[in-house]
């Protein structure tokens, strides 16, 4: 994102007007400060993925959030805006391999590029960091070890597609093939964009690895599962206690997703992998 856009120019004028407003005691915004009890607010945005540059669609979210944070700071609230690069995952490993550099080098370059773009758009984070950090490792390990020690983790062996050429298990989006429902070709490993069907990657017909173009093989691997059903009672109470907006609360209580039981995720899978010399915990719903 090298060129300055019309949106950027508008944003400059908007922030200038906000900053000028704080200099005028008679301004209505200044009066609002005295009329409200100070709040402590922690704000974040979706973490930008460290496998590529930020596009204008991403930037709109950060601009909107930054405006909201500035507004509440002007009202006298203690408001912190924090964010970070999402620096782990298969796409990052593949992009680094493509560029013939290490994943660490890629995420370092992307973080600098992202921060340069944020600076160009005058996005004022109170702290901008990365998930590839010692702090994140400590907290992730602490949470997992506490859950494991308290008996909330179980093990299960499952079958996954494996790329023998690249010697790696394949995420759903890195497998393509023929839809088992409508037989449309070149569809993702978890859903068909033609008929809308969802399925398991192992149901896909004539699957191929997106990475190598080779036919993947089924291979067993041991996964770790967080037994969220152990917390069903407390979560039922919490989701009914007014913490959510009404529509979301109803959705959770009714169980609007196929992998929910009474609105509560029954089990979630924790895959522990060693990436970039750091133990990372990935969480996703599982069957």
Tens-digit pLDDT profile for residues 158-190? 888 999 998 888 888 889 999 999 999 999 888
Return the pLDDT at 124.
95
How many angstroms separate the Cα of 170 from the Cα of each of 155, 163, 176, 201, 211? 20, 7, 11, 10, 9
State the virtual CA torsion across 92, 143, 168, 216 in degrees, nearest 10.
Answer: -110
- Region 63-88: mean pLDDT is 95
Return the pLDDT at 45.
94
Give the C-alpha separation, 57 to 11, whole Å. 15
Q: Would you say residue 266 has pLDDT above 50?
A: no
Q: For residue range 93-115, what is the model confidence (pLDDT) as tens digits?
A: 888 988 999 999 999 999 999 99
118-154 burial, b at 16+ Cβ within 10 Å, e below that, comes to: beebebebeebbbbbeeebbeebeeebeebeeeebbe
Q: Would you say residue 278 has pLDDT above 70?
A: no
Return the pLDDT at 159.
86
Q: Would you say residue 202 has pLDDT above 80?
A: yes
pLDDT band of residue 88 (cuts 50, 70, 90) is confident
Those residues whose C-beta lies under 8 Å from the C-beta of residue 188, and which sit 6 or more positions away, are: 172, 173, 175, 176
Strand partners, 54: none
- Region 75-80: mean pLDDT is 94
Return the pLDDT at 90.
80
Return the pLDDT at 21.
43
pTM value? Answer: 0.68
- Region 188-200: mean pLDDT is 89
- Region 222-249: mean pLDDT is 78
Q: Is residue 50 within 8 Å of 106, Cβ to Cβ? A: yes
**Which residue matches tokens 């912190």?**
80
Of the candidate ranges 47-51, 52-56, 213-217, 234-238, the one whose mean pLDDT is the lowest: 234-238
Full set of structural domains in the chain with CATH: 6-132 (3.40.50.620), 137-154+224-285 (no CATH), 159-219 (2.170.220.10)
Of the candidate ranges 18-22, 39-43, 55-59, 146-150, the one whose mean pLDDT is the lowest: 18-22
Q: For residue range 135-166, what is the model confidence (pLDDT) as tens digits?
A: 998 998 999 999 999 999 988 888 889 999 98
Q: For residue range 1-20, what is the model confidence (pLDDT) as tens digits?
A: 544 454 555 555 555 545 54
Beta strands 264-265 and 260-261 are antiparallel
Those residues whose C-beta lies under 8 Å from the C-beta of residue 201, and which sit 6 or more positions away, are: 160, 161, 170, 172, 175, 189, 190, 207
Task: Please give the share of the chain, as a percent, with pLDDT higher than 70.
Answer: 72
Mean pLDDT of the chain: 79
pLDDT band of residue 274 (cuts 50, 70, 90) is very low
């Amino acid at each position: 994102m090298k060129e300055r856009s019309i949106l950027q120019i508008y944003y400059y004028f908007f922030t200038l007007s906000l900053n000028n407003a704080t200099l005028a005691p008679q301004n209505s915004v200044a009066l609002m400060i005295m009329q409200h009890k100070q709040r402590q607010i922690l704000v974040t945005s979706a973490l930008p993925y460290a496998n590529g540059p930020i596009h204008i669609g991403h930037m709109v979210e950060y601009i909107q959030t930054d405006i909201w944070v500035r507004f509440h700071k002007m009202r006298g609230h203690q408001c912190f805006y924090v964010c970070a690069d999402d620096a782990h995952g298969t796409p990052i490993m593949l992009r680094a391999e493509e560029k013939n550099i290490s994943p660490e080098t890629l995420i370092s370059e992307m973080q600098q590029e992202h921060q340069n773009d944020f600076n160009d758009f005058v996005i004022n984070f109170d702290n901008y960091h990365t998930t590839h950090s010692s702090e994140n490792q400590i907290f992730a390990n602490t949470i997992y070890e506490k859950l494991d020690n308290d008996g909330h983790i179980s093990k299960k062996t499952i079958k996954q597609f494996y790329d023998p050429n690249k010697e790696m298990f394949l995420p759903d989006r890195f497998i393509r093939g023929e839809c088992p429902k409508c037989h449309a070709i070149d569809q993702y490993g978890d859903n068909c964009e033609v008929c809308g069907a969802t399925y398991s990657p192992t149901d896909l017909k004539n699957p191929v690895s997106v990475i190598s173009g080779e036919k993947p093989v089924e291979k067993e691997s041991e996964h770790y599962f967080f037994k969220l059903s152990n917390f069903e009672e407390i979560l039922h109470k919490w989701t009914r206690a007014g913490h959510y907006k009404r529509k979301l609360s109803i959705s959770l209580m009714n169980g609007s997703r196929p992998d929910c039981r009474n609105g509560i995720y029954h089990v979630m899978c924790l895959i522990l992998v060693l990436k970039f010399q750091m133990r990372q915990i990935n969480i996703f719903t599982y069957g």
